[in-house]
């Protein structure tokens, strides 16, 4: 290898490093595992780094309205991003559905949850965890399921609410609640439940959990933010999204 070629390679590397940027992303708690994996792949493939914050979509909405410096929002619904866009906090025309989630009734106990959710009608549990419907779309979906099954009145005294779907998962994983409605992505990988027992809730029992991404005003001139939104629509990200039980933005599952 000639000295001239070495200098050229070094110059290319220095240019790539100088072009790398950073984007701060507010991520719905249900999307924690896939987004962590996507962020690593994004950095490897583009050089850009994604700083991730996980939490309830409702809390992120309030923070963004109050000036929180997030550049991108990955919401747990398709309403929050639209609302931010209409209210002038997000860049018009950048919103898209990156994933559609699935809800699951889960217990850490291996044989507690049956494949039709009939356990909800039983006396085999004292606490049922859900995400706060005021903050988390997955909590709204859980309440819809209870209503449609006709068990809401029966189980209401047993409900414990997590601030986000992440906290709800924690309640069940630590067995402070025997059952909980969680995101399928939290308990499965490539179509397999990784621990305990679960009922994957039919989508006909609740409003579809379409999850939208949007570029926020703080990220309007951030190259890394634009790159991340483009990356989320690419094959690499979509493959990861499908691995965790979501329907990817292209409408396909595993």
Backbone φ, ψ for residue 219 (5° rounding): -105, 10
To which residue do tokens 């990861």 refer?
240
What are the residues facing 209 on neighbouring strands?
A: 101
Q: What is the CATH number of domain 102-205?
A: 3.40.190.10
In this prediction the pTM is 0.86
Strand, helix or coil for residue 244: coil
**3 state DSSP class of 20:** coil
Indicate the domain borders of the chain: 20-100+209-248, 102-205
27 strand-pairing partners:
54, 74
Q: Tens-digit pLDDT profile for the chain (254 aa)?
A: 454 544 444 444 444 444 679 999 999 999 999 999 999 999 999 999 999 999 999 999 999 999 999 999 999 999 999 999 999 999 999 999 999 999 999 999 999 999 999 999 999 999 999 999 999 999 999 999 999 999 999 999 999 999 999 999 999 999 999 999 999 999 999 989 999 999 999 999 999 999 999 999 999 999 999 999 999 999 999 999 999 999 998 666 54
Q: What angle do CA 84, 73, 137 make, to 5 degrees?
A: 80
CATH entry 3.40.190.10 includes domain 20-100+209-248 = yes
Q: Do domains 20-100+209-248 and 102-205 have the same CATH topology?
A: yes
């Amino acid at each position: 290898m000639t000295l001239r070629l070495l200098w050229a390679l070094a110059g290319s590397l220095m240019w790539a490093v100088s072009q790398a940027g950073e984007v701060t992303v507010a991520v719905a708690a249900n999307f924690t595992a896939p987004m962590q994996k996507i962020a690593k792949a994004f950095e490897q493939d583009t050089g850009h780094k994604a700083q991730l914050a996980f939490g309830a979509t409702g809390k992120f909405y309030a923070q963004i309205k109050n000036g929180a410096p997030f550049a991108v929002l990955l919401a747990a619904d398709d309403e929050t991003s639209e609302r931010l866009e209409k209210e002038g906090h997000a860049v018009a025309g950048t919103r898209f559905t990156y994933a559609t989630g699935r809800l699951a009734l889960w217990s850490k106990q291996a044989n507690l949850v049956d494949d039709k959710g009939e356990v909800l009608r039983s006396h085999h549990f004292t606490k049922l965890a859900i995400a706060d419907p005021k903050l988390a779309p997955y909590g709204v979906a859980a309440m819809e399921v209870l209503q449609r099954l006709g068990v809401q009145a029966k189980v209401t005294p047993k409900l414990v609410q997590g601030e986000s779907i992440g906290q709800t998962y924690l309640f069940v994983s630590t067995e402070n609640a025997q059952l909980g409605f969680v995101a399928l992505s939290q308990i499965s990988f490539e179509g397999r439940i990784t621990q305990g027992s679960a009922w994957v809730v039919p989508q006909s029992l609740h409003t579809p959990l379409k999850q939208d991404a949007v570029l926020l005003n703080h990220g309007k001139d951030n190259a890394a933010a634009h790159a991340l939104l483009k990356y989320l629509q690419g094959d690499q990200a979509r493959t990861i999204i499908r691995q965790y039980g979501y329907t990817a933005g292209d409408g396909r599952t595993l």
